[in-house]
Amino acid sequence: MSRHSLNGFGFLVPRSAGLRVLGSVWNSSLFPGRAPAGNALLTSFVGGATDPAAATLEPQELVSLIHSEISPLLCITGEPVFSNVTIWPRALPQYNLGHTDRLAAVAKACSRFPGLWLTGNYLRGPAIGSCVDQALAVAEEVRERHPQ
């Protein structure tokens, strides 16, 4: 049970907070019906480039870690009813120094191949909204170049 309203998308955790949890998405707030009445479905993230050792933890260790870190933030008073752990070792791209230069080189290479378009979280941002915006822009560009 959570005393937090969970009215929203979720949250991100700055590295300066000293937590291993990177963030949480409140699925049942975004998509009604994803959890039984009186329950909430959350997807939380750990690991990444700043904590690669998280991917080596056992599933129950990850569940305990996440629960212990998000419970105080969301005023969760009970234990998880259900949990599922999926490990994606290279899920989110890292935009390290020089990423803009790499994007310019990719764009230059692609310009030699008319009719080739690229889209994905490695280009303009891993957020779902960024990926959707980018995909729609590419689809519009394709439509303009190849009208029916």
Burial (Cβ within 10 Å: 0-12, 13-18, ≥19) of residue 145: exposed
State how far the Cα of 79 lies from the Cα of 87, in Å rounded to an integer: 22
Is 0.75 topped by the overall pTM? no
Is the pLDDT at 2 greater than 60? The verdict is no
Give 21-80 pLDDT, tens digit per residue: 999 999 999 888 999 988 999 999 999 888 999 999 999 999 999 999 999 999 999 999
User: Rounded mean pLDDT of 9-14?
Assistant: 90
Please write the tens of the pLDDT for every residue from 85-120.
999 877 777 788 999 999 999 999 999 998 899 998
Q: Compute the distance between CA of residue 86 and CA of residue 53 in angstroms, rounded to an integer.
A: 15
